[in-house]
Amino acid sequence: MSRKSSKKFWVAEVSDEDDRWITAAAESDPDNPPVPSEIIAKMVPFNTIFGRPPKPDAKQLVSIRYQPEVLAYFRSTGPGWQARMDAVLAEHVRKMKAGGEG
């Protein structure tokens, strides 16, 4: 489940003098030179290049309440019970669309 982080990030205020010192130190480091702004402008987030493309029919996260006996039954069937529960509901939807009775 994805939630926004509740952590607070504090950014220290840096004086102009400290900023100049930090920049000079970074520029004088032969092993780790600063990245030119032209290159930074061309950068894209990593997850837009690599990773699995989003599915057009991706499942949606919802919060729902079920009767305890319904949950107990599906949970008693072992790992994968949520997928089986989804399959039962999907089959019911197919039957209802086909004109079946609920």
CA 17/CA 19 separation, integer angstroms: 5
pLDDT in tens, the chain (102 residues): 455 666 677 777 889 999 999 889 888 998 988 888 999 999 988 877 777 777 888 888 999 999 999 999 999 999 999 999 999 999 999 999 998 775
Domain ranges of the chain: 16-97
Q: Which candidate, 41, 47, 22, places its Cα nearest to that of 32?
A: 22
What's the pLDDT score for residue 75? 96
What's the pLDDT score for residue 6? 64
Q: Which candidate, 89, 40, 39, places its Cα nearest to that of 64?
A: 89
Contacts of 44 (CB under 8 A, 6+ apart): none
Question: In terms of pTM, does the model score above 0.75?
Answer: no
Q: How many CB atoms lie within 10 A of CB 81?
A: 14
CA 90/CA 102 separation, integer angstroms: 13
CA 88/CA 70 separation, integer angstroms: 12
What's the pLDDT score for residue 21? 92
Residue type present at position 92: H
